[in-house]
Amino acid sequence: MHHMNRDMDWQNNYMVHGPQQYPYARRQHPYEYHHPHMQHAPMMEQPYYPAMSSRLPSDRPLVKLSVALIDTYKHINHVYYEERDARRAARANHPGPQKGVNNHGWDDENYDYIITSGEVIHGYQIKERIGKGSFGQVVRALDASNQEVAIKIIKSKKPFLMQAKTEIELLEVLSKGSDTHNIVNLREHFLYKSHQCLVFEMLSLNLYELLKNTQFCGVSLNLIRKFAKQILKALQYLASPSIDIIHCDLKPENILLRHPKRSGIKVIDFGSSCRSNKRCYQYIQSRFYRSPEVMLGLPYSTSIDMWSLGCILVEMHTGEPLFSGSDQCDQMQKIIQILGFLPTKMIDKSNDQHRLLFFEQTNNSWCLRKNTLISQNPRQTLSQVILGDPKRRNQDSGSQYDIFCDLILKMLVYDPSKRIKPEEALRHAFIAEGEAPNRPRRGV
């Protein structure tokens, strides 16, 4: 149920064997029989004789493709995966060099650099690839002092290089306060064989992987509080007048633990980020964490990251995305089902290209194009979502849920100008309670 739009490995085209001969001789139609010397003789139906066959009944193609079809599919899958595993094992035992087709032979068909384990790039020894995306790939490497680093190797195509240039500029602005404000630290950058490379400190699991380790049961409100406080400090730093950077893609995958057994985190991936006064793109934010102003094509600011954070915190507790739309239209419906209808003035400010995807006007008022339940009490609806599992109620007190729900509602206010600011959220009762002089538990 979780993240249904993540990758699935379907193998749809597999040929079984060549055509098999039908086990019975064809029975001729009476009007098909003509004796060569009897042109005017009446046409007679020939007797039917079964062809001799050594096949067992279960081996006949007609049986395999009808009553035994499920068994046939199982056999096809078994044969396919056996052959695939054999091919993979052969490649692992005899890894021939991958041939490049782009960038003078250095790149594959997608303009990704063809990495080789043990290769030294700019003084860094490549160990293995640990991530891949539309931008390029990330590899684990060792520096001259044998410390692990993560190197982001951007595709060699010009649009990706230009986008990486913007990312570097923003990361250099953030570098002075990166550690104290929970932002990933860019150590250096360089150009290698037409690929922009960004060298980062090596971090641990991202929050989605942490959630996966809980079998998507979620984590406690106590741990949520620790995460929230650190992410809010990062957003406060990004939203400060001297910085004024919108992350534009805040999600569990872009928040990493500093250490696998500690609660310290850092925000990563500024590849989609921009300044508030230099918005580059309209299509931003991953769908589950996309704010309504972005969906409506309205001007946006650092407040879109606060919307994303509200969605993330609920997901980290329940184990499931708060708004898991299958497409843009379904996403808007999911939001309205929990938070109620959007303010009319927001829809009025949007243009037809965007608003008519979701809404239509009847009797001078806006309504959803598709019928759906609209929450009349967002606080109650959201509380029901957060408190859905009785096991979670036993872990945390009811009062904690009340103030947690209150914070999330303030993060998910439709009007971005009224949405809670990072500094206000840091003073909220849910976050401020963590300031109590309780001795923290190690390894949480």
Q: Which of 107, 112, 249, 269 is catalytic?
A: 249
CA-to-CA distance for 287 and 295, rounded, in angstroms? 9
Number of H helices, E strands in the chain: 15, 12
The pair phi, psi for residue 200, each rounded to 5°, is -120, 160
Cβ–Cβ < 8 Å for 420, 411? yes
Residues 6+ apart with CB under 8 A from 325: 287, 288, 331, 332, 333, 334
* Axis-axis angle for helices 303-318, 378-386 (nearest 10): 40
Amino acid at 400: Q
* 249 in catalytic set: yes
| Sheet containing strand 120-121, strands side by side | 120-121, 124-133, 136-142, 148-154, 195-201, 186-192
β-strand 124-133 against 120-121: which pairing, if any?
A: antiparallel
Torsion, Cα 416 317 232 259, to 10 degrees, reads: -150
Longest CA–CA separation in the chain, Å: 112
8 Å CB contact between 368 and 329: no
Angle at 246 between CA 245 and CA 247, to 5 degrees: 115
Query: What pairs with residue 359 in β-bridges?
Result: 368
Alpha-carbon span 79 to 70, nearest angstrom:
14
Return d(Cα 113, Cα 107) in angstroms, integer: 4
CB 186 within 8 A of CB 175: yes
Q: Judge whether 308 and 291 are in contact, CB under 8 Å.
A: yes
What is the C-alpha radius of gyration for the chain, rounded to an integer number of angstroms? 30
Q: Please list the active-site residues.
A: 249
